[in-house]
Structure 1
Amino acid sequence: MAEIIIKNLRKEFGDFTAVQSSSFKIEDGEFFMLLGPSGCGKTTTLRMIAGLELPTSGEIYIDGEEVSQKPASQRDIAMVFQMFALYPHMNVRKNISYPLVSQGMPGAQVKEKVAEVAKILGIEDILNRSVGGLSGGDRQRVALGRAIVRDPKAFMMDEPLGALDAEFREHMAEELRALHDRMGATTVYVTHDQLEAMQMGDKIVVMNHGVIEQFGTPQDIYDKPATMFVANFIGSPPMNFLKGHGTLDVGATAVNLRHHSILIPEMREPFDGDITVGVRPEHVRLSDEGSYRGEILATEYLGTTQIVTLATDAGELKARIGSERRANVGDTVGLAFNASTLTLFNSQTGNALRSNLNIGVLGMGGAHG
């Protein structure tokens, strides 16, 4: 397997810049997620790593070798696509063995390798079946088998579960992660599904409009979003944004939200202007004694929890609370926040402000604003 290093990677299509000066490192054996909305540049980045697109500028290192201008055939990379790309005229066994046969591997060795991969994927019983009659999950396993059988340096996966229904996607995500752990493979995985990325990834790059907004572990990206885009994209429901304004000196521990002051993490840099206070729904507490008030607009029952939507003078917010707490539409309730769970943003640039709650790592390409 291999370490992959990306330095100042850029891709232009005419006047359009798809990827802007991206830099990051994928450790050997890591399950690495490229996450973002459609058109953000994640698939283009993956295709450049794989050699299916050549970068306009920048460097790509795979296992210590600079490969940015080398074709895909010289990179020892295996691709798994959303639409499986199986050969319909071949059965499962022939689909999996095709890469080895095309390389001229002896028949006995091919048979042994196919049997080994089929056992890993649990598809020994369908090796002689036509791929046309297989379920979506089995077809995906066959596509994975064809990639695995080559023992490549790294796997590139472009929305491989996108064609499956929601329930089966979750099951296959668990299987993919378990397979990765057994093989210790370096895997680069593209998805627009933040739950999939959080569930499976060791590290995540969050992209938007060709720029890396943040790079880090799932926990860091969730707890310490580096930009308002990341805070809004990650989480369901996403982070609440409350509008405020003020002059904050180094060491400040409170900010005004319209006509009310709330405690915040201690400021590590001065700031003057419009500020946005971010708080996750699960960190909003309904308190009978709270002086900061909100009117309940709606409730959504989810079994053990409920999502309560409230109107406040600093903006609408959602709270995730226990289902045993009575929350009646039209009631006015007090709201309380733990300062250590809040994230502060510059409202104009969207970037997180430095406080004693260390923010996540911004992408090397910078953030929007």
Structure 2
Amino acid sequence: MAEIVVQNICKEFGDFTAVQSSSFRIEDGEFFMLLGPSGCGKTTTLRMIAGLELPTSGAIYIDGEEVGQKPASQRDIAFVFQMFALYPHMNVRNNISYPLISQRMPRAQVREKVAEVARILGIESILDRPVGGLSGGDRQRVALGRAIVRNPKCFLMDEPLGALDAEFREHMSEELKKLHDRMGATTVYVTHDQLEAMQMGDKIVVMNHGIIEQFGRPQDIYDKPATRFVAEFIGSPPMNFLKFHGSLEIDATNVTLHHQTMTVPALREPFDGDMIYGVRPEHIRLSDTSGYRGEIIATEYLGTTQIVTLKTPNGDVKARIAAEQSARVGETVGLEFNGATVTLFDSQSGRAILSALNEGVLSHG
């Protein structure tokens, strides 16, 4: 397997810039997620790593070798597509063995490798079946088998579970993670599903409009978002955003929301202007003793918890509370925020004031 290093790659299609000066490092054996909404540049980035697109500028290293301008056939990678890309006229066995046969590997060795991959993926019973009659999950396993059998330096996957229904998708994401852990394979995985990225990834790059918004471990990205976009994109429901104006000094630990003092982590630099107080729904508590009040305008029961929407002087917020806790529409209640978990954002730029200097957060200049 291999380390992948991407340095300042840019991809332009005429006047349109799909990827802007992006850099990151994928460690050997990592499960690495490229996450973002449709059109953010994540698939274009993956295709440049694969050699299916050549970068306009920048460099790509796989296992220490600069491959940015080399075609896919010279990069020793395996690509798994969303729509499986299987050969419909071949059975499962022939689909998996085709890459090895193309390399003129001895047939005895081909049979041995196909049997080993089928055992790993649990598809031994369908090796002689045509791929056309298989379920989506089985076809995806066959596509994975065809990639695994070559033992490449790295695996690149473009939303490989996107065509599956929700239940099968969850099952296959667990299977993919187990497979990765067993093989220790360097894997780059594109998805627009933030839950999938958080569950499966060792590291995540969050992209938006061709720019890397943040790069880091899932927990760091969730707890310390670098931008308002990341805070809103990661989490369900997303982070709450309360607008206010203030002047804060270095090491300030309090802000004022509608005449109420709220605690925040100590600031590392002074700030004056319009800010956004960001807090996750699970870090809000309904409290009779709090002077910061909100009116309950909606409740959503989720089994073990409920989501309560409240109207406050600084904007609507959603709180995740216990299912058995009383919360009636029209009721006015006090709100307490866990100050240690708060992120302050610059209202104009959307950049985090508190977390912008944390490890894993990239500066865009």
Give TM class, smaller chain.
Answer: over 0.9
Alignment match, 2:316: 316
Alignment match, 1:273: 273
Structure 2: segments with no counterpart, 5+ residues: none
**1:267 positional shift:** 1.2
Alignment match, 1:133: 133
In structure 1, what is the Cα distance between the partners aligned to 2:361 and 2:19?
16
Contact 1:225–1:360 (Cα < 8 Å) also in 2:
no
Contact 1:226–1:360 (Cα < 8 Å) also in 2:
no
Alignment match, 1:362: 361
In structure 2, what is the Cα distance between the partners aligned to 1:196 and 1:260?
38
The reply on whether 1:46 has 2:46 as its aligned counterpart is yes
SS at match of 1:70: coil
In structure 2, what is the Cα distance between the partners aligned to 1:68 and 1:184?
24
Alignment match, 2:242: 242
SS at match of 2:335: strand
Contact 1:241–1:277 (Cα < 8 Å) also in 2:
yes
Contact 2:35–2:191 (Cα < 8 Å) also in 1:
yes
Instruction: Name the amino acid aligned to 2:144.
Output: L
Instruction: Name the amino acid aligned to 1:339.
Output: G
The reply on whether 1:104 has 2:98 as its aligned counterpart is no
Contact 1:253–1:265 (Cα < 8 Å) also in 2:
yes
Contact 1:224–1:360 (Cα < 8 Å) also in 2:
no
Contact 1:86–1:95 (Cα < 8 Å) also in 2:
yes
In structure 1, what is the Cα distance between the partners aligned to 2:360 and 2:127?
46
The reply on whether 1:170 has 2:167 as its aligned counterpart is no
SS at match of 1:235: coil
Instruction: Name the amino acid aligned to 2:75.
Output: R
**1:251 positional shift:** 1.7
**1:358 positional shift:** 6.3
In structure 2, what is the Cα distance between the partners aligned to 1:12 and 1:184?
34
**1:360 positional shift:** 5.4
The reply on whether 1:231 has 2:220 as its aligned counterpart is no
Q: In percent, how many aligned pairs have the same letter?
A: 78
SS at match of 2:147: helix
The reply on whether 1:205 has 2:205 as its aligned counterpart is yes
Deviations 1:42-95 (A, max 9, x none): 000000000000000000000000000000000001000000000000000000
Structure 1: segments with no counterpart, 5+ residues: none
SS at match of 2:247: strand
Q: How do residues 333-352 of structure 1 correspond to structure 2 at under 5 angstroms?
A: 333-352=333-352
Contact 1:31–1:186 (Cα < 8 Å) also in 2:
yes
Contact 2:92–2:127 (Cα < 8 Å) also in 1:
yes
Q: Alpha carbons of 1:258 and 1:360: their partners in 2 closer, same or farther (altered >3 Å)?
A: farther
Q: How do residues 287-302 of structure 1 correspond to structure 2 at under 5 angstroms?
A: 287-302=287-302
Contact 1:79–1:156 (Cα < 8 Å) also in 2:
yes
Instruction: Name the amino acid aligned to 2:4.
Output: I
Contact 1:243–1:258 (Cα < 8 Å) also in 2:
no
Alignment match, 2:221: 221
**Structure 1 residue ranges, 4+ long, deviating more than 4 angstroms after superposition:** none
In structure 2, what is the Cα distance between the partners aligned to 1:245 and 1:49?
44
Deviations 1:232-270 (A, max 9, x none): 000000000011111101121111223332111111100
Normalised by the length of structure 1, the TM-score is 0.97
In structure 2, what is the Cα distance between the partners aligned to 1:133 and 1:354?
54
**1:199 positional shift:** 0.4
In structure 1, what is the Cα distance between the partners aligned to 2:141 and 2:360?
35
Instruction: Name the amino acid aligned to 1:361.
Output: G
In structure 2, what is the Cα distance between the partners aligned to 1:293 and 1:258?
10
Contact 2:265–2:354 (Cα < 8 Å) also in 1:
no
Instruction: Name the amino acid aligned to 2:163.
Output: A
In structure 1, what is the Cα distance between the partners aligned to 2:326 and 2:357?
35
In structure 1, what is the Cα distance between the partners aligned to 2:28 and 2:264?
39
RMSD after superposition: 1.1
Contact 2:300–2:307 (Cα < 8 Å) also in 1:
yes
SS at match of 2:350: coil
Instruction: Name the amino acid aligned to 2:89.
Output: H
In structure 2, what is the Cα distance between the partners aligned to 1:363 and 1:85?
36
In structure 2, what is the Cα distance between the partners aligned to 1:122 and 1:271?
57
Q: How do residues 111-190 of structure 1 correspond to structure 2 at under 5 angstroms?
A: 111-190=111-190
Instruction: Name the amino acid aligned to 1:12.
Output: E
In structure 1, what is the Cα distance between the partners aligned to 2:357 and 2:167?
36
SS at match of 1:362: coil
In structure 2, what is the Cα distance between the partners aligned to 1:258 and 1:38?
37
SS at match of 1:32: strand
In structure 1, what is the Cα distance between the partners aligned to 2:362 and 2:339?
26
The reply on whether 1:327 has 2:327 as its aligned counterpart is yes
Instruction: Name the amino acid aligned to 1:350.
Output: G
Contact 1:22–1:363 (Cα < 8 Å) also in 2:
no
